[in-house]
A and B are shown apart, each in its own frame.
Chain A
Amino acid sequence: MSAKLHIPTAPCRPGDEPDFSAITLPAAGELARPDEMVAADTTRELSFSMIRVLDEQHQAVGPWSPALTPAALRDGLRHILLTRLYDDRMLRMQRQGKMSFYLKCTGEEAVSVAQCMALEDGDMLFPTYRQQALLVTRGYPLMDMMCQCLSNAGDRLQGRQMPVMYSSDVHKFFSISGNLGTQFSQAVGWAMAAEYRKTGDIAAAWVGEGTSAEADFHYALTFSAVYRAPVILNVVNNQWAISTSQNIAGGEQNPFAARAIGYGIPGLRVDGNDFLAVFAATRWAANRARAGGGPTLIELYTYRAAAHSTSDDPARYRPSDEWERWPLGDPITRLKQHLIARGEWSEAQHEQLQAELAETVQHAWQKAISLGTLNEGPRPPDAAMFEHVYKDLPPHLLEQRRQLEAMT
């Protein structure tokens, strides 16, 4: 018998019929909701199966169904819709050359919105580049987001970062790094400090499933388990890491959530396109963290509907219609249908909201663009690049700034 090196393959590639047959979905409402303080090793089923609340008839069912008012659900829908429209607009503007880069979160908006709504304002968010909906949910002005993407005179980050690498201390939204995964372990330190300072705040951090292979993932799970840090560690499994399927990141047989148990951390695997399930799971983890139960690992099962970013063409590595066949659907449709089924929403209201939000985006864009783009109009002064390297400008940077200014 000769052993053969196993190289996992993607479920399907361009030209293939989309195939999600490997995904087994439990019915909504099927899984029990244990007390928040249960031992980590009792969460085996929650980490291998999938927490789902919305059923085929768009009803919220089972013990995980959260007590959310229709008004709160409508808020959630509004944030998701706004994020989608914002993304669409920004992508078009990138195509028109207004900015160097853009990156959408289409199809996975419910993750950030529901998770953010399940947290308190004082809780610190350690996002990836695909959690722009956290900022939208926390009410960060769209115009400020746009100005960051445009690196224009209104950019609060003074043109330091590529588009979408937002930061807002006021909104407790941590500065996004381009280095994947580094924030995961930093969030644990933040949470340990919150515990030490007895502020009662918790931290939440996100990585993509591809990034879960980085050492920082392991650091975060180890340190948070050892010191019982009040942190929620989230893996957004959107199936793809650029062109690489989740199978390569380590998920061919074992769900990412299931990794938690070996560390002594509960693992929850959640239907990431089910707004109510995401909210419920996150609230469970937040309750546990606040009660001294330490970290929870949540895998949010979803699908990256758009390209990885404006730098790639997904038609070269996956079937173009995969998204339409995604068994967990579109988070917008599912939340909308649920509200309609409850008699709390209608197609007409939905269309009206969409038009209103499109107007909001348009309005913010006009204001943002009036402050310039990377290539036209006002932008941060070149000399600003020397600030914030250190708290105070040291002599050698002062000298270099002088040299730059002498050139212009």
Chain B
Amino acid sequence: MSAVLNIEDGSVAQPAATPARRPETRTMSMIQALNSALDVMLERDPNVLIFGEDVGYFGGVFRCTEGLQQKYGADRVFDTPIAEGGIVATAIGMGVNGLRPVVEIQFADYIYPAFDQIASELSRLRYRSAGQFWSPVTIRTPCGGGIRGGQTHSQTPEALFAHVSGLKTVMPSNPYDAKGLLISAIEDDDPVVFFEPKRLYNGPFDGDPEQPVRSWDQHHKGQVPQGHYRVPLGQAATVRAGNDVSVLAYGTMVHVALAAAQQAGVDAEVIDVRTLMPLDVDTICNSVCRTGRCVIVHEATRHCGYGAELSAQVQERCFWNLEAPIERVTGWDTPYPHAQEWAYFPGQARVAQALRRALEG
């Protein structure tokens, strides 16, 4: 089941699993929503510990952990040495000893020193010990470009993690989902890599860098309950219902896709994938089988990107309903450049072009 947003009148139909808006809802940016999720979990579960580079005293370079050390103490929210492998390894050991660590890798671009601990250890510990040992670590990490970060502050390496069996991989596109998904991730007994599109931290971004920055105040998904709620892992959200073509996107690209559909005047059904593993194949394939056309959008490079997996899944299940080749709109197969950032970023124009191609096919 997925949440359906009617973009025309802004109303949202929430699935039964998600509680309806409650009075204690307030406007939050994605940063505030993530902070609220961490706050809620620190409050509820004494086994939740938060650590990473600059997350303690300072509250994180993106301020996601602001105020948490003051509130819960330095033994629950603390700074670490600059050693991503060490951060994840330490979290693994803590998880084995009964804790529920939530660690921050300051930028997804710097997650690679921890890749061995994530891909060889964290993901396989339950398997290799036949269930004797496991570690419910959540790894939060900001990802994505559009902030003039060049090749070292812009990557979205989700495909590398979605490829690893034993991991769950999540990428929210708005504050409401970010909080609910992060709570689900922390409560989950499997390890979760949680990507936070940093271009969305302070407001929705439709891919047009010339537009003035918008905040989450005006967006209905900026209304976030203050207490505990979950957005379940493994459920996509249909953020715009439509009939002509299904657009599969996640993170920043959800907003770009919505804007591109409007620009192209196409009645697109836009699906926010939200969790890459486990993947909600049913929501995706039911939509594509109905529209007969599919455009996949992500910011990361194309070759072996997560879009390749989505494309294969759609092809396997919707082949006889497809009216046109599946389109992929992605970052080019180059490192993320600095000066050419907007030529690299798969913006509205490229998505709109792909939508038109899909409709012509």
- Chain A residues near B (Cβ < 8 Å): 124, 126, 156-158, 160-161, 165, 167-169, 174-175, 177, 179, 182, 185-194, 196-197, 203, 215-216, 218-220, 222-223, 226, 387-391, 394-396
Contact = CB atoms under 8 A, between A and B. Distances in A.
B86 A167 contact: no
A120 to B, nearest CB: 15
**Candidate in B90, B94, B101 with the most chain A CB atoms within 10 angstroms:** B90
Contacts of A175: 125, 128-129, 132-133
**Candidate in B94, B95, B101 with the most chain A CB atoms within 10 angstroms:** B94
7 contacts: A175-B132, A188-B93, A189-B96, A218-B86, A222-B83, A223-B86, A388-B130
A188 B121 CA distance: 15
Interface of B: 49, 75, 80-81, 83, 85-86, 89-99, 101, 113, 116-117, 120-121, 125-134, 165-166, 168, 189-190, 234, 278-279, 281
Contact of B86 (A157, A168, A222, A394): A222
Nearest to A170: B132
Nearest to B282: A395
A203 B75 CA distance: 19
Given A157-B128, A186-B121, A167 B133 contact: yes
B190 A188 contact: no
B121 A189 contact: no
A194 B113 contact: no
Contacts of A191: 93
A388 B127 CA distance: 5
Contacts of A193: 93-94, 96-99
Contacts of A169: 129, 132-133
Contact of B121 (A156, A179, A387, A396): A179
Given A223-B90, A394-B278, A190 B96 contact: yes
Contact of A185 (B93, B130, B131, B281): B93
B121 A167 contact: no
B99 A196 contact: yes
Contacts of B116: 179, 182
Nearest to B133: A175
A192 B94 contact: yes
A223 B81 contact: yes
A126 B120 CA distance: 16
B126 to A, nearest CB: 5
A387 B85 CA distance: 27
B113 A187 contact: no
B279 A160 contact: no
Given A186-B90, A222-B86, A197 B97 contact: yes
**Candidate in B101, B127, B190 with the most chain A CB atoms within 10 angstroms:** B127
Nearest to A201: B97
**Candidate in B113, B127, B130, B134 with the most chain A CB atoms within 10 angstroms:** B130
Given A197-B98, A215-B113, A219-B83, A391 B126 contact: yes
Contacts of B92: 186, 189
Given A389-B165, A389-B166, A390-B190, A185 B125 contact: no
Nearest to B93: A189
Given A177-B121, A185-B89, A222-B86, A391 B134 contact: yes
A218 B113 CA distance: 13
Given A389-B127, A396-B279, A182 B117 contact: yes
